[in-house]
Structure 1
Amino acid sequence: MKRRIAREKAFQILFQMDINDIEPKDAIDYVLEDQKEQEIDAFLNQMVNGVTDNKQEIDSRITDNLENWTLSRLASVEKTLLRIAAFEMFYGVETPQGVAINEAVELANTYGDEKSGKFINGVLSKMIK
């Protein structure tokens, strides 16, 4: 599975977990249900488990870089994308920070509203400064 697709699947899985308060295995089964092969891609697995395992630290990092917002006020799309990108940028994934930001912005433009991409870009850019 290409990393771009794995990121999108990780977003879908983590989004399901956030809005439905379900376990990773249940969310993975739901998102990957129509795939013939249920074996999870290593990068996808790393993203889902990494965000889940480090969620508290990631959320703290995000909160420290929000202006006039709280994490609880963020839409699930933006919150999930920020978590994925922050994990990729700061938790040992071999992805350049610029790539992680660009990928999150692209997903925000696909799944969020017209302002999501700019918002994601602003918060993530602030994180690396």
Structure 2
Amino acid sequence: MEERRHAREKAFQVLYQLDINQDASLESMYEAVDEDISQYAKSLIQGVVEKRGIIDKQLDEKLENWSLNRIGTVEKTVLRIALFEIIYIEDVPSKVAINEAVEIAKRFNEDKSGKFINGVLSKFMQE
């Protein structure tokens, strides 16, 4: 569990940097994190990068009175990782993905972010 949380946080850091620095390459972001990135973190990063269009479209459909481009980068990045886990990683229960996303949002932003993340992701549980 701790290992996966660490992997999610590393994935968050890399994906966050990629989002705010459009010119950055994935390789340069791996180097910037400056420590070994676990295979799980790499699979999250690669998956979110590859499926970003699909993930963003699904998130946009669930956001009420919001659009993805109005959401802060922290929240957007956390939502993308969690939704990737919910949809594409079978051995991660949706509730675990959501709880982890809330914790990461709180750690890198504030408690309100956690509530927002929980509200958006819980809509994917109702399907």
Structure 1 residue 5 corresponds to structure 2 residue 6: yes
Give, as a single letter, the amino acid of the residue that structure 2 aligns with 1:2.
E
Give, as a single letter, the amino acid of the residue that structure 2 aligns with 1:5.
H
Moved more, 87-96 or 61-70: 87-96
Alignment partner for residue 101 of structure 1, among 73, 83, 98?
Answer: 98
Aligned to 1:17: 18
Which structure 2 residues correspond to residues 45-124 of structure 1 after superposition, within 5 A?
45-124=42-121
Cα distance in 1 for residues equivalent to 2:32 and 2:97: 25
Name stretches of at least 5 consecutive residues in structure 2 with no aligned partner.
Answer: none
Classify the secondary structure of the residue corresponding to 1:94: coil
Aligned length in residues: 124
TM-score, with normalisation over the residues of structure 2?
Answer: 0.93
Cα distance in 2 for residues equivalent to 1:104 and 1:114: 12
Q: Of Structure 1 and Structure 2, which has the larger fraction of its residues in helix?
A: 2
Q: CA deviation at 1:27?
A: 1.0
Cα distance in 2 for residues equivalent to 1:2 and 1:106: 15
Cα distance in 1 for residues equivalent to 2:49 and 2:20: 14
TM-score, with normalisation over the residues of structure 1?
Answer: 0.91
Give, as a single letter, the amino acid of the residue that structure 2 aligns with 1:65.
K
Give, as a single letter, the amino acid of the residue that structure 2 aligns with 1:115.
K
Classify the secondary structure of the residue corresponding to 2:111: coil
